[in-house]
Structure 1
Amino acid sequence: MGEHTDGLLVRIISVVFFVAAIGTVIAWTVKKAEDPARMIFKWVLTAPLLGYVFWVLMPMLGKFDNKAAINGIPNTVLCGLALAIIWRSSIAALIARPFGSLFTGGDEPPEPQPLYSVARARQKRGRYAEAVAEIRRQLDRFPNDLEGHLLLAQIQAEDLKDLPAAELTLRHFCEQPGHAPQNVAFALYSLADWHLKINQDREAARRELEKIVELYPDSELALGAAQRIAHLGSTEMLLAPHEQKKFAVPEAPRNLGLISKRYQPQPRETDPAEEAAQYVKHLEAHPLDTEAREHLAVIYADHYQRLDLATDQLEQMIDQPHQPARLVTHWLNLLADLQVRSGVDYESVRQTLQRIIDRNPNLAAAEIARKRLGLLKLELKGQAAKDSVKLGEYEQKIGLKGRGPRRDS
């Protein structure tokens, strides 16, 4: 009696474990299947076969008698063939999946991403309220998404003409923790652009750009914002595109074709001294404006022949922390150009080009500097020949007075 009870308990426990295991496998395969209905049908056919193998054939084969040899082995082979027919496609897919995963990424689900195609379509159709509602639904799922906040602010500012709402949207984004500095700066740049484009409000745009400088001082972002502040322009400049332009047409000279080239009207040339004074005044207010400082250096070198002043202006920008490497390379090349034009010796120019190589020896700019170093002596010789040719022509033309030599009759 006790042995019978123990055997029954073992069979019950084995059945429970079998059903649980099969149920887990069935649930997992149905969830992963591309066609769940077909997978369920396969398991409907497979479950009886597995039950027959587990409770009938396995005890029979475990006795190792004639009945097992006559009935057990053939029936086991038939069940195996039936299972192979049912699962052949799944077995082939299981074998091929590791190789296909090299190209498809496997069964790893894609990372959830916000979708704004519906909102953009409604925006293009002029259904702005519906577009805003769709964007807000996406932002409820992805509250830190930059694209969604920018799109929402764009619709509010440009389509709904509600710039305060756009400002509130981007302000909320900037106050969220964890955003990359580039994303926050981009949001503030966008807000500054809308202040200029919609309201022509230069001061409001300046405040947004100054926030970048306050949030990220001593950084490349702060330098870029300071450069932008220096070129905001006056209120009259911002209003100019919205006002009707007036063109003053001066009276053209008469008999233009009969006027000698010497007396023909020439375009007014800018005065380098006046330009230099304007740049100096501008740099007093905006000392981080690299564009103005670069132009001033060129005027110092070419017009005033003061390479020392030009070098000082360029070195201020080169030594400024957090300047982009491409700009530093550009200024060093410009310094080398000015040195060549000013007739500086080979060693001074070589040292300037060597600084480019020393900063980033593995970049393309360093390779260009190496090539220029190889041709530097020829470049200096060509500049010297050019200067001597100009001087020779000038001296010859000084002596050409009056009419030319008369021909002997």
Structure 2
Amino acid sequence: MSRLFRLSLGIMTSIGGFVDIGNLVTSGISGARFGMSLTWAIIAGTIAMTLYGEMAGRVASVARRPVFHVIRERLGVRTAMLNLVAFVLLAVLTLAAEIGGLALVLELVTGVNYLVWVPWIGAAMWLVVWWWRISVLENLFGMLGLTLLVFVVALFALPTDWGAIGHGVTHPWVPAQEGHPMYLFYAISLFGACVTPYQVVFFASGGREEHWTAKDLREMRLNALIGFPLGGLLSVAIMAAAVVVLRPAQIDVSHLGQVALPVVEALGPVGLVLALTGFTAAIFAAGVECTLSIGYSVAQFFGWGWGKDRPPRDAPRFHLACLVAVVVATAFILTSIDPITLTVVSVVLGAAAVPLTYFPVLTVANDRRYMGRYVNRRWVNGLAVTFLLGMTVVSVVALPLIFITKAGQ
């Protein structure tokens, strides 16, 4: 059991990074509209996230430097400042989407308009960041988020045509009614939901909070190699469940409640309770991760004291940055912008910004002055450079696709 809890950072990162509001929505929409033909995007995103997550964790363990400390050292102050501004803006946008998504879950449960819940959710996230120790966050949200495995169970309870599911995975196609721009837009959204930059910042900074060193590389790799693929598995299961139930009924996902319909059909009220529990844990964890990542990035860049388990009097500016992030994100979602549209746009823009965070991590992971004998192996560099080039292409085409497809409408 103690070994299981030692993996909780990776589990929480996977639950709140992969299967947050972004992946819940994009996996549900993609399954309903494209079948399993976009599974490759989740697989590619999972491999990329695992690769760079392990790299960032290794840098944090061996060089004992968090991500934004590294970015400032390698890129210089001016370039790193641009990187910081882009990261914070996108992380706040993502945080707003998480707050709105959790409000939609509460609307589904209570019938009360989601906007009523938004201020309370923002306050709850801030209080959790302020008071709870990081070990409590990891264990609680990591374990509760595992209830999303109910989507895997539902696939076996439903009349699933496994042959058709497998054929859709291995033979991608573009539905005639969708077109290539729409297909590419949702491919980028799925990929972006897997590789959001705040995951890297949270995972590496969390490792520093747990005082990882080179002696802890095995534990770190277990967190990365189990946690991130687990998130990918859950994403594929959500997509497949939508294929079985939503696609035949021609249900186009426009509300979070529709993502849970396959579980309700398979397992009834018990399945619904488990799904909503998983939704709540995943989205709340993602909101906490976003909030902490903003505080981490700002404090690390400016050289301030930081740390989730440091009391506010010892790291006041770190906690202030977290508070400002929550307030701004809460105010933004209170403008009544549609949380689902905001979610889709945020993951696509996040995919476009990935190279800004990942390139410095790759650079330092190959620098023997920092890493000594723990530099990347050749095959790791080959994969990492391939993904980075792909991410660079994504960053170029993402914004035009938002306008061409009207954000996937």
TM-score > 0.5, shorter chain as reference: no
Greater RCO, CA 8 A, separation 6+: 2
TM-score, structure 2 normalization = 0.19
| TM-score normalised to structure 1 length | 0.19
